[in-house]
């Protein structure tokens, strides 16, 4: 195994993404789409630029993800009343409950089927502390 901290953090991110996709399959969404939907769940409606900022995704990635969600009817696109060159995205009301259920399913998947097999409760607590410290240090709001 590579000993670089940055490499290993990136690798863990990839592995967690793969693991996250397991409980999300029943909803027909990917972890990347899920991240977008959570950001929309937490806000009324926002522009694609604001969505990119909220999810740390670039414009190209946002532009790639949104059409599939629009086609499925999970999100809605409306004209931006403040800027005619832009538009607003919001989560369709019908799918708000799906997001709540998916959050629970992913939490249960990791807390019952993944982490207890790998880490003790104390290690999980320490890991969370370290992750939150890193996020604060990296200015993640």
Mean pLDDT of the chain: 95
Tell me the per-residue pLDDT of 11-60, one tens digit each, with 9 for 90 and over: 999 999 999 999 999 999 999 999 999 999 999 899 999 999 999 999 99
Looking at the chain, the whole-number percentage of residues with pLDDT higher than 90 is 91
Instruction: Concatenate the DSSP letters of all residues of 68-107 into one string.
Output: HHHHHTSEEEEE-TT-TT-EEEEE-GGGHHHHHHHHHHHH
Looking at the chain, the whole-number percentage of residues with pLDDT higher than 70 is 99
| Pairwise CA distance, residues 116 & 110, whole Å | 8
- The residue extents of the domains of the chain are 5-137
> Taking residues 75-90, what's their average pLDDT?
93
The sign of the CA dihedral 81, 49, 77, 35 is negative
Quickly name the fold that domain 5-137 has.
Arc Repressor Mutant, subunit A (1.10.10)
Q: How many contiguous H segments (helices) and E segments (strands) does the chain have?
A: 7, 2
Q: Estimate to the nearest angstrom the gap between the alpha carbon of 14 and the chain centroid.
A: 13
Q: Is the pLDDT at 101 greater than 90, yes or no?
A: yes
Closest CA to 19 of 109, 99, 108: 109
């Amino acid at each position: 195994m590579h000993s670089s901290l940055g490499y290993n953090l990136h690798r863990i991110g990839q592995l967690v993404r793969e693991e996250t996709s397991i409980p999300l399959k029943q909803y027909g969404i990917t972890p990347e789409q899920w991240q977008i939907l959570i950001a929309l769940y937490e806000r009324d409606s926002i522009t694609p630029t604001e969505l990119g900022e909220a999810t740390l995704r670039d414009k190209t990635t946002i532009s790639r993800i949104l059409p599939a969600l629009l086609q499925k009817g999970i999100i809605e696109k409306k004209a931006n009343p403040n800027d005619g060159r832009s538009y607003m995205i919001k989560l369709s009301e019908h799918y708000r409950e799906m997001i709540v259920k998916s959050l629970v399913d992913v939490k249960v998947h990791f807390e019952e089927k993944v982490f207890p097999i790998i880490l003790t409760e104390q290690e999980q607590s320490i890991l969370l502390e370290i992750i939150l410290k890193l996020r604060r240090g990296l200015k993640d709001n």
